[in-house]
Amino acid sequence: MMVLTCKATEVPRPYSVLRLPTRGTVAVLLLSDLVGFRVHFERSSLICPREDCPACRTGRSTKYVGYCVVWSGEQRQLLRLTEAAARSVESRQLAFPGAVWSIEKRGSRSTPVVTELPPRDLKPGQLVDTREVLARVAMLHSLGVIDSAVPLADLQEQIAVSARMLLSRLLVH
């Protein structure tokens, strides 16, 4: 088991997506809540704005993905969970800041199996706000830099507007 320690203060930098091994186990400390998104796959995965979506209008399907910020022993990273894995941790109420997970992959196509380990108390400065998760995921999905220092509803609206614009632009060609 790797030691999960996290410095309280870090230099801000883009978060990469945690790569799970094809086979094997990784331990992570959750620094945020799990946030769910629906995404379309148009060359890359793009956030679905839900309302007034140009891709949904043309019958394109979406997939549900869950994201949370985790500490994997070296740095803050975004953990992306597929629908099956996200629903599994949601139904077991395993996703909360301070939760520690052991994630096991049993093959490239298998759903990761999440096991709960004893949770930790997060130190001040470790907790990552939901708005920060939204902004980071938006950035990851080509929506550019979104200001996370605004109320949650405004941030969600800003992401929906940007996602709608990006999808309209891509679907024209």
Which chain residues interact with Zn ion by CB under 5 A?
48, 53, 55-56
Looking at the Cβ atoms of 54 and 112, the one nearer to Zn ion is 54
CB of 48 to Zn ion, least distance (A): 3
Contact indicator for 171, 56 with CB cutoff of 8 Å: no
Looking at the Cβ atoms of 49 and 112, the one nearer to Zn ion is 49
Cα–Cα separations (whole angstroms), residue 150 to 23, 100, 139, 143:
40, 29, 16, 17
CB of 15 to Zn ion, least distance (A): 24
Question: What is the gyration radius of the CA atoms in the chain, in angstroms?
Answer: 16
Looking at the Cβ atoms of 50 and 87, the one nearer to Zn ion is 50
CB of 54 to Zn ion, least distance (A): 8
Q: Which residues of 134-167 are buried (b: 16+ CB within 10 A; e: fewer)?
A: bbbbbbbbebeebebeeeeeebbebbbebbbebb
What is the C-alpha separation between 147 and 107, in angstroms, rounded? 38
Looking at the Cβ atoms of 29 and 55, the one nearer to Zn ion is 55
N residues, the chain: 173
CB of 29 to Zn ion, least distance (A): 33
